[in-house]
Structure 1
Amino acid sequence: MSDLPGTDSSADEIRRAVEAPPTRVVVIGGGMAGLVAARDCARPGFAVTLLEASDAFGGSVASLDVGGITVDAGAESFATRGGHVAALIDELGLTEDVVRPNPAGAWVRYGSRTVPLPKAGLLGIPSSPLATDVVAAIGWGGALRAYLDRLMPVLTIGKEKRLGVLVRKRMGQKVLDRLVAPVATGVYSAQPDDLDVDVVAPGLNTALTRHGSLSGAVGELRANAKAGSAVGGIAGGMWRLPAALADAIAEHGGVLRTGAQVVAVEPWTPQEPAEEAEATQAIGATDAVAATVDAVTASAPDPTADLPARWTVRLASGEELPADVVILAAPASASLGLMATASPDLAPLAALDWPPASSVELVTLILTDERLAAAPRGTGVLVSDAESSDVRAKAMTHSTAKWAWLAEAAGPGRHVVRLSYGRAGKTSETADLDDDALRAIAVADAATLLDIPLTESEVDAFARTRWTNALPYAALGEGERIARVRDAAAEVEGLEVTGSWLTGTGLASVIPDARSSAERARGLRWKALTENL
């Protein structure tokens, strides 16, 4: 036995730390951010409950059964930058199923003209303005105007924050309208003039100053990027990723609940004995018998149910859940509302000048037409928002031309084509249309974009899916609002906030932020167990 002072008390503290009940973590929002955070908290043994208001997990990474094929209803790929998505996929045992898209690439349409999207570009900004594919897209006049970028004075460089203004000033209106706008709006759901250059293209302004031209800056950023495809997918569909996450959470003892709408997250207060007595007396004879039966037949009582907590999570059903840590992974409006219930210091955040969330409607068509086997428009078409446009869709993806696994699943002669409707800042053109009307528009748009006459007789199946996108993360001023949210939330111990409205859309942005929130939540456990040692 040791004679060192304090040894016995230290041993008692360590024993209590080891034997302490698991930390209760309630994750609100079962999209990708919530699933990732919940899984990372469940792995080390935390008592995790994941609450999702809708009837399915995964958010916009979801499956759709149409025409006897299971396809992605939302996100169909992931950005490979940073390696964050690949690392998670590997942990879940899906690495062997990672696939790359057809390198043929997409086309772009302006007015009634469709051409291949120039290869050597960044967000549609060409690195070589006089390249053959650039000239084909914007004509010699547009290409020569873009080349003037290399002759502009250095002193005017690196000052512009708005992507649209920068491109227009340096390379001209044709590059902006015909190349940059279709790509930028497709990725960020916002007009180029509203996008922050430093957010959508980090390092571009610095490289521009260094090279003296926008095209030179694009060339540098492309040269510094890792070789290989910028995007990847999962054979069978990206929806397999949230499904694997949900399975992993359950395997580690986590509880997953759909249809669970949370109305408040409030600081926990112990129930007074008098209140407990009143609650007991309020139970009628029948309820008392039922409660007794439940108590006898319950497989295992929750050992943490009566322990002090940091939070009380209130559901619309009236149910209350105790939580030591709450991770908010819901959309912006829901998260901001719940933050206000958690602390009065967070209430003003909801009143900030948040831009409206955009919405998009995806139409999936299963077509039977041998002419599509030639992939006449590569992997798809991005459509410029021009007054002369003869289609309503903002983009079309020839999914079976893009993904070999999907072509195999569809079978010979069958093709999956997906069209996207809804532009940032504009009223939805499809929200009030019934299925027959939208189907007719989609078939006509697909025929125009593919340059193949199609009729509804070639349509084997049709489906529509509406998504409300996250706030335009890359819009000017959004960074300051997000910083205020993060700074304020950091002052409230035991409350974490994550999600695409804070990180920007795309799994490469969402996943690392969600994992960081889970890491901070786990850190609170260590802090609580060691602060008295």
Structure 2
Amino acid sequence: METPAPATAPVPAEETIASGGHRRSGHVIVVGGGVAGLVTARDLARAGVRVSVMESSDRLGGQVRTIDFADRRVDVGAEAIHATPPHLSALLRELGLWDAPLGSHQGHSLLGHPRGAQPMPAGLGPSGPTRIRPVLESGMLSLPGLVRAGLEPLLAKLTPPLAPDQDISVGDFLAGRFGHEVVRRFVDPMLGSLHSGDVYRLSLRGTAPQLVAAAEHRTSLMRRSAPRPTTNGPTFVSWADGLQTFVDALAADIEGHGGRIARGIAVREIVRAGGRWQVRTSEGGFETDGVVLATPTPATITLLSPLTRAAETLREQRFASVVNVLLALRADQVFQHDAGDRFPLRATPETNGILMPSDAPWTMKAATFLGTKWPHLRRTADGRDDNAFLVRVSAGRVGLHVVDGLDDEELTARLLDDLHRITGVHADVLDSTVIRWPAMPQCEVGHPARVAALRAELATAYPRLALAGAGVDGMGMAAVVRSGQAAAASLIAALS
């Protein structure tokens, strides 16, 4: 079980006045203690702003959550940090976390296919292929699909450019370049699974910003080079105690720069009071100079609706109900297949995981072989070999509510059966646990424009009120961290 840290009282308004009656850099309340809120508060605190974080639950991190399972520290939300983006690698260095990160095992991943699981081709990312040869040799496309995909460099020049104020779905954009078969076979199981969404509705600008330049300037995706690493270390990183290490480092940095963090305090209303804000909570009211809402979309709507009608447009956002099931299987049985098994490609000790397309006839959407991908999880936290092999199986996509209709026992049994049928993995279950995420926000076409319009109105009417988080700026650690940094920068400028 997780042990929440003791709550700390928020900073009252009077504490923003320095000795002699002169106001210091001002005081800001950050509502929400997820990663976006913590990053915002950290940047504010380091800039000399008095900051208080108010989190309604008893833990920090939002969709970063590390639990004790099978005598190991295991992540049940976000699993790793993709350290390639410069703003992420720089943050890890500033937090002192780049000295001893754990890199994921360089094994191979599988993709679901009508002919069974197939190895993921080289040069393939969530936003499509960057190299045509591995895709041609993968055997995952039909002959017409191969021919259509090979036309991408030509079609890039013939397709009308994306206008600066225009958005399009990731699926439609990539289908226009490579054809629908590439989207079904590669983009849907990768990007769609990552966001638990419909790639034909996910926003290009919101979920694949790295493709926007190619869409606006009609450049070929086959010729784009991979991002240059900003570090000599691993690409995907975690730590022995999981991503909770990252959350704890952010919290420690906030408090080390004079900020305060309060858990178990629900913010019920924010009200303008002269040139300041009143933040009314379950523990009383507090005055402050600025407010950042790093909250889930429903809470953001509730708090903003009395201030602006534009907040109501956020009600168009959809959510996916997602579940992660952790399994501790008998390690000596996991890759021992029966002679009568018939699997086009069985999972092996080098398999990191498998991703399934949305049209697959199974409940399981993805599985991560944690015992392979993260070598430190092969043993208990104290170094014992207990013959346990950990697998994380996930299910649930937007518009599909099958996981909500199954209790934990039924869901675990169904996903175990899917895992066996798809990969051949079958072993005695030593332990299991189910973690549900009932409201995974979707950044679909139109959402970035709605958020931009809302922010523009807030900037005019309430310059010391900012928004941050996955609900407004999309999923993924890179997007969430950038969102928090941008919110902090806007408040620092407004307080000046």
Tell me if TM exceeds 0.5.
Answer: yes
Query: Conserved in 1, the CA contact under 8 Å of 2:148 and 2:178?
Result: yes
Displacement of 1:421: 0.9
Q: Does 1:339 align with 2:313?
A: no
Q: 1:226 to 1:422 in 2, by over 3 A?
A: same
Which residue does 2:470 correspond to in 1?
A: 500
Paired letter, 2:316: W
Q: 1:222 to 1:17 in 2, by over 3 A?
A: farther
Query: Conserved in 2, the CA contact under 8 Å of 1:121 and 1:218?
Result: no
Q: Which of 350, 357, 370 is the aligned partner of 2:319? A: 357
Q: Does 1:311 align with 2:316?
A: no
Q: 1:448 to 1:22 in 2, by over 3 A?
A: same
Query: Conserved in 2, the CA contact under 8 Å of 1:375 and 1:401?
Result: no
CA–CA separation in structure 1 for the residues paired with 2:211 and 2:281: 46
Q: 1:347 to 1:163 in 2, by over 3 A?
A: closer
Which residue does 1:426 correspond to in 2?
A: 400
Displacement of 1:436: 1.8
Q: Does 1:29 align with 2:29?
A: no
Q: Does 1:168 align with 2:175?
A: yes
Query: Conserved in 2, the CA contact under 8 Å of 1:267 and 1:310?
Result: yes
Displacement of 1:109: 0.6
Which residue does 2:442 correspond to in 1?
A: 472
Query: Conserved in 2, the CA contact under 8 Å of 1:118 and 1:137?
Result: no
CA–CA separation in structure 1 for the residues paired with 2:257 and 2:226: 43
* Cα deviation code 1:245-301 (max 9, x no counterpart): 2223333343322221111100126xxxxxxxxxxxxxxxxxxxxxxxxxxxxxxxx
Which residue does 2:371 correspond to in 1?
A: 400
Which residue does 2:484 correspond to in 1?
A: 514
Q: Does 1:195 align with 2:166?
A: no
Q: Which of 84, 89, 92 is the aligned partner of 1:89? A: 92
CA–CA separation in structure 1 for the residues paired with 2:156 and 2:236: 36
Query: Conserved in 2, the CA contact under 8 Å of 1:236 and 1:406?
Result: no
Q: 1:91 to 1:17 in 2, by over 3 A?
A: farther
Paired letter, 1:339: L
Q: Does 1:248 align with 2:253?
A: yes
Q: Which of 454, 458, 462 is the aligned partner of 1:485? A: 454
CA–CA separation in structure 2 for the residues paired with 1:450 and 1:313: 52
Which residue does 1:268 correspond to in 2?
A: 273
CA–CA separation in structure 2 for the residues paired with 1:204 and 1:45: 37
Q: Does 1:438 align with 2:411?
A: yes
CA–CA separation in structure 2 for the residues paired with 1:115 and 1:173: 19
Which residue does 1:298 correspond to in 2?
A: none
Query: Conserved in 1, the CA contact under 8 Å of 2:83 and 2:237?
Result: yes
Displacement of 1:68: 1.6
* Cα deviation code 1:208-232 (max 9, x no counterpart): 79787xxxx2232234544876533
CA–CA separation in structure 2 for the residues paired with 1:523 and 1:516: 11
* Cα deviation code 1:453-488 (max 9, x no counterpart): 33xxx2111111112455322x21112101112111
* Cα deviation code 1:187-244 (max 9, x no counterpart): 23321211334444446475479787xxxx2232234544876533333311211122
Matched position secondary structure for 1:256: strand
CA–CA separation in structure 1 for the residues paired with 2:494 and 2:160: 46
Q: Does 1:118 align with 2:121?
A: yes
Query: Conserved in 2, the CA contact under 8 Å of 1:185 and 1:424?
Result: no
Stretch deviating more after TM superposition (43-52 or 237-246): 43-52
Larger Rg: 1
Stretch deviating more after TM superposition (402-411 or 376-385): 402-411
Q: 1:173 to 1:44 in 2, by over 3 A?
A: closer
Corresponding residue pairs, total: 458
Displacement of 1:314: 0.5
Which residue does 1:326 correspond to in 2?
A: 291
Q: Unpaired runs of 5+ in structure 2?
A: 1-17, 336-346
Paired letter, 2:450: R
Displacement of 1:363: 0.7
Displacement of 1:524: 4.2
* Cα deviation code 1:482-503 (max 9, x no counterpart): 1112111212132121112222
CA–CA separation in structure 2 for the residues paired with 1:449 and 1:377: 16
Stretch deviating more after TM superposition (112-121 or 167-176): 167-176
TM-score relative to the length of structure 2:
0.83
Which residue does 1:378 correspond to in 2?
A: 351
Q: 1:107 to 1:17 in 2, by over 3 A?
A: farther
Query: Conserved in 2, the CA contact under 8 Å of 1:265 and 1:312?
Result: yes
Pairs within 5 Å for 1:68-107:
68-107=71-110
Query: Conserved in 2, the CA contact under 8 Å of 1:326 and 1:496?
Result: yes
CA–CA separation in structure 1 for the residues paired with 2:110 and 2:400: 24
Which residue does 1:303 correspond to in 2?
A: none
Matched position secondary structure for 1:245: helix
Paired letter, 2:256: E
Which residue does 2:225 correspond to in 1?
A: 222
Q: 1:485 to 1:234 in 2, by over 3 A?
A: farther
Stretch deviating more after TM superposition (441-450 or 18-27): 18-27
CA–CA separation in structure 1 for the residues paired with 2:419 and 2:120: 18
Q: Does 1:449 align with 2:411?
A: no
Q: 1:203 to 1:397 in 2, by over 3 A?
A: closer
Query: Conserved in 1, the CA contact under 8 Å of 2:141 and 2:181?
Result: yes
* Cα deviation code 1:132-183 (max 9, x no counterpart): 6753223555334433445659434646933323443443343221111111
CA–CA separation in structure 2 for the residues paired with 1:521 and 1:434: 44
Q: 1:436 to 1:513 in 2, by over 3 A?
A: closer
Q: 1:517 to 1:452 in 2, by over 3 A?
A: closer
CA–CA separation in structure 2 for the residues paired with 1:157 and 1:98: 44
Which residue does 1:108 correspond to in 2?
A: 111
Displacement of 1:46: 3.6
Query: Conserved in 2, the CA contact under 8 Å of 1:80 and 1:232?
Result: yes
Matched position secondary structure for 2:85: helix
Pairs within 5 Å for 1:136-175:
136-140=139-143, 142-149=145-152, 154-156=157-159, 158=161, 161-175=168-182
Q: Unpaired runs of 5+ in structure 1?
A: 1-14, 270-308, 528-533
CA–CA separation in structure 1 for the residues paired with 2:20 and 2:223: 53
Q: 1:132 to 1:512 in 2, by over 3 A?
A: closer
Query: Conserved in 2, the CA contact under 8 Å of 1:312 and 1:323?
Result: yes
